[in-house]
Amino acid sequence: MIEFKNITKKFGKLTVLDGINLEIPDGQATGIVGPNGSGKTTAIKSLLGLVKPTEGNIYVNEETVSENWQYRDGIGYMPQVARYPENMTVAELFRFIKKIRNGEPSHEDELISYFGLEPELDKAMRTLSGGNCQKVGAVLSMMFNPDLLIFDEPTAGLDPRSSVQFKNKVRELKSEGKTILLTTHIMSEIEELADYLIFIVEGKIKYHGPMQQLLDAHKSQRLEGAVAKMMEEAAA
């Protein structure tokens, strides 16, 4: 169980997360949605320890993340914009990550093949296309078999076929009982993959709960309509 307790993050005078309280259930997929700049990536980075909250605590399995960095070994993260050593080849990058991470990868070759990365293995990271770079990020997030997977706009640079493949992989991970946290602006993707929804506007949680409950409350069949309505209400 992941808990955000009263998390505030300020960058200078800008309050990006404003007293957030959240519980993210285990073994489910949770979608985080909200307008550009609403604080989704900052919330994720706070959970990963890449951003230090100004106030509040985040707990993973009842332990404060600020005092216990071990929990990060159980997380796979695919960032929105990844920066890799640009002169390393894909194969070298995988070797490098294996060296610096504790634990053995469980199905690295299978993932490389699943995402069609074999022809890319000897190419330098700087020469990779955006989509293939995303796929490298996908493999890295999954290859140590983590219990929690965090995907920040994972399909943004993927072609339709790769996007379907990625989503099928997420379904597989869900069926294995993994906890998934996902941000995307593609509402159909959230509908397809998520059970829970977090809606965040200007650093405040406007909705947190089962997706179906939100659809029922807005008498809407589609998430896009319900979220658009919530965005209008928030802007009014």
The residues binding ligand ATP (CB under 6 A) are 11, 16, 34, 36-42
Nearest to 184 by CA among 173, 175, 194: 194
Pick left, alpha or beta for residue 12 (phi over 0 → left; psi -120 to 50 → alpha; otherwise beta). left
Min CB(103)–ligand ATP separation in Å: 29
In degrees, to the nearest 5, what angle opens at C-alpha 76 toward C-alphas 107 and 105? 25
Min CB(199)–ligand ATP separation in Å: 11
Comparing CB distances to ligand ATP, the nearer of 38 and 165 is 38
Comparing CB distances to ligand ATP, the nearer of 132 and 183 is 183
Comparing CB distances to ligand ATP, the nearer of 36 and 102 is 36
Helix (H, G, I), strand (E, B) or coil at 168: helix
Residue partners of 96: CB distance under 8 A and separation at least 6: 85, 88
Comparing CB distances to ligand ATP, the nearer of 42 and 132 is 42
Min CB(92)–ligand ATP separation in Å: 29
Min CB(2)–ligand ATP separation in Å: 17
- Asked if 31 contacts 211 with a C-beta cutoff of 8 angstroms, the reply is yes
- Asked if 84 contacts 39 with a C-beta cutoff of 8 angstroms, the reply is no
Q: What are phi and psi of 35, to 5 degrees?
A: -60, 165
Min CB(183)–ligand ATP separation in Å: 7
Residue 109 CB: number of other CB atoms within 10 A?
A: 11
Comparing CB distances to ligand ATP, the nearer of 78 and 143 is 78
Comparing CB distances to ligand ATP, the nearer of 30 and 165 is 30
Min CB(189)–ligand ATP separation in Å: 14
Nearest to 38 by CA among 199, 219, 226: 199
Comparing CB distances to ligand ATP, the nearer of 34 and 76 is 34
Dump the DSSP string for 104-136: --SSHHHHHHHTT-GGGTTSBGGGS-HHHHHHH
Tokens of 4: 């955000």
Min CB(41)–ligand ATP separation in Å: 3
